[in-house]
Structure 1
């Protein structure tokens, strides 16, 4: 996403009115109290995001029943979030509290590039998992995203992200500010090139376009699910009803993930659009100076929110997280049981047999072994 860790010259000038100076230039962008608050906020994102996404990958890796196409995309999303946390979060924090860029030109290019690639890979992983659910629910007999196809899609996603973000490797560089101080910022041959790139590659290609497709797909999924009639007076009907409930739960979780992603990055896009296209007064520049680190933190915090959403909406992930904590092992296999229950109506004498049979058929065969951790 554009220059995510960089301030504009107007924002740098704004920091010159604050605290400690180096000659006639302030090295710190904010007061000590605000600086400490930023460090705490970014540290929370770092710790929660790193632990949470590691748990996501571990649950899918160690629980055989979690190995499916949807979770393959979720693991890819978690991996992209870990990259953001390890590389983008520390660099972004440093740029928001300290004026000079002290990590060198290579890190100036690399940190922004990796963040852009990871965010793009995250969004297109969400698009991929949305398409998986769309075909599975709306066209179950016509097209299916197999594990092999999913792997091909993931390779394409990363190639696409690496390619689209490549201009940042070229045009992010160290630029002299004042008194020999260097800042990391975009330096395009013409400012118009940077503006066009932001509109096409960042705003449209990495935000508006994929989110529009995701929205259309989920609208079609909800129409399909809630308009579908499933008879419940047969064993197959009960089986279909249980499967349908499971699909709806997964869709709700994924919709929550997409909505949180869109809302997390929206403020930062608004800040960038105002900075690039609006003529701001001095008061407006002061507002941008305050809003930019908050919007940036909100966007990066998306990398630590997804594991919380998985645990809230999906019992398997919650049980998996708890099992990892209890197991005290990084390699033991996890065994996850489905929580499938009959409704009160289905427990009637007439339907008791079919209900029990549906539950039995809905459960997969349990995995045996001494190294299994029972959930």
Structure 2
């Protein structure tokens, strides 16, 4: 931010206008879009007085912010909310996978990679982009001016490619004649565990390398530029400086195709084919369903999977289309970034795109039954450990089996036992002992081992078997 015009500068401006006249031309000076103003490019109209011109210049020099304080505060609060929720949700995904050994699978490595990409986006890219949106003057220097757009592009493409790989892997697993043992991520049916993990690591590394290379032009052609009105007003702005308009248009077209058109096409086609395959399997194999109940259960599962696949595709389109469109328009007319209204619309579109950092852990984590179950178990362990630490009673371990053969083990405090049994035809009634201070709802959710309708109820309560 520059101080208001000094007396010497005002005197120079008055004499300059006197020499050139009210209809004179400007000499070479900076323009707000970073280009050079040539003779005849800008005229001082006869209806603009010296006082008005000085007032405009003073306002531009003093006001370093694009938006009014109230509007700027709203934009900042919105970014803080998205950053905070994105950090918490994606950190939970990484924590649960790291804590639960059974979740450390090859396919979950890509879920973690997606979460890491979103964490980097929340920690670095979004705050730096916010600085660029609210301040006219770029205060962070030339290196960060080049790194910020490159890092943003690398993270976006890493996230996009990872989502596409996950979709293709689901397609191969579900439609594979080997019964789901082959896939893009999992390797062939005979691939060993170490080999699959090595392949996944190589694929993740390749994703980041490709994503980083796509963003390199932004690091090369971004930089700080002194811009302003006349030679008196100067802001250090971080802008794109391409060698030609054709180069900018070509890069914009490539980015739009790779970041939006190709991924959304793959997601739509793959998820549509998965949905049709599951539907045809239910309709064409009635003899494989042992009962009407099994048929209903399979239909419900199909509807749930279809809804999830549609949600992933629609969410991706809704999140990224507005920002992709605005970036494409700005590449044809970069001076749009000099208008406050466009910046406000751009900030809203960028926020919508960044909400993908919140949507991804929900769609790929919480809606996964296995992941959700282990997450609830992790929360269950924390809460039980908290109760146990403050108790003087002894402790023991209780375990409850499920229809899937898995076991949920946790510490419980010695107390008067309350018994639970499983109300489900496939599972024999089993006993669960816990202290009255623990929440039955918590244990019910955390230790539910089946994907069916099995629920744990107190034996002393009336429930139809």
Q: Is TM > 0.5 for Structure 1 vs Structure 2?
A: yes
The 10-residue stretch of structure 1 (35-44 or 107-116) with the greater mean CA deviation from structure 2: 107-116
1:324-335 map, 5 Å: 324-325=378-379, 327-328=381-382
Quickly say closer, same or farther: Cα 1:297–1:213, change in 2 above 3 A: same
CA distance in 2 between partners of 1:126 and 1:176 (Å) = 40
Residue equivalent to 2:259: 206
Residue equivalent to 1:223: 276
The 10-residue stretch of structure 1 (312-321 or 131-140) with the greater mean CA deviation from structure 2: 312-321
Aligned residues: 329
CA distance in 2 between partners of 1:30 and 1:268 (Å) = 20
Residue equivalent to 2:326: 271
Q: Deviations over 1:140-172 (max 9, x none)?
A: 418433243433322221111111111122111
Quickly say closer, same or farther: Cα 1:89–1:61, change in 2 above 3 A: same
Structure whose CA Rg is larger: 2
The one of 384, 404, 407 equivalent to 1:366 is 407
CA distance in 2 between partners of 1:279 and 1:87 (Å) = 24
CA distance in 2 between partners of 1:338 and 1:26 (Å) = 65
5+ residue gaps, structure 1, are 1-7, 11-18, 330-336, 340-358
1:30-109 map, 5 Å: 30-109=67-146
Task: Tell me, yes or no, if the aligned pair for 1:113 and 1:168 is still in contact at 8 Å.
Answer: yes
Quickly say closer, same or farther: Cα 1:154–1:243, change in 2 above 3 A: farther
Task: Tell me, yes or no, if the aligned pair for 2:61 and 2:234 is still in contact at 8 Å.
Answer: no
1:152-163 map, 5 Å: 152-163=202-213
SS of 1:30's equivalent in the other structure is coil
1:261-340 map, 5 Å: 261-277=316-332, 287-310=341-364, 313-325=367-379, 327-328=381-382
CA distance in 2 between partners of 1:73 and 1:260 (Å) = 19
Q: Deviations over 1:276-333 (max 9, x none)?
A: 3479999x9665233111111111122122234456634444454455555449xxxx
Task: Tell me, yes or no, if the aligned pair for 2:268 and 2:313 is still in contact at 8 Å.
Answer: no
The 10-residue stretch of structure 1 (143-152 or 172-181) with the greater mean CA deviation from structure 2: 143-152
Q: Does 1:232 align with 2:289?
A: yes
Quickly say closer, same or farther: Cα 1:244–1:57, change in 2 above 3 A: farther
Higher RCO, 1 vs 2 (CA within 8 Å, ≥6 residues apart): 1
1:161-180 map, 5 Å: 161-178=211-228, 179-180=233-234
Q: Quote how far apart the aligned CAs of 1:104 are.
A: 1.2
SS of 1:227's equivalent in the other structure is helix
Quickly say closer, same or farther: Cα 1:311–1:204, change in 2 above 3 A: closer
Aligned-residue CA RMSD (Å): 3.8
5+ residue gaps, structure 2, are 1-31, 35-55, 187-195, 384-398, 413-441, 447-465
Quickly say closer, same or farther: Cα 1:247–1:226, change in 2 above 3 A: closer
CA distance in 2 between partners of 1:218 and 1:95 (Å) = 37
Q: Quote how far apart the aligned CAs of 1:204 are.
A: 0.5
Q: Deviations over 1:63-86 (max 9, x none)?
A: 233333442221111110011101
Residue equivalent to 2:64: 27
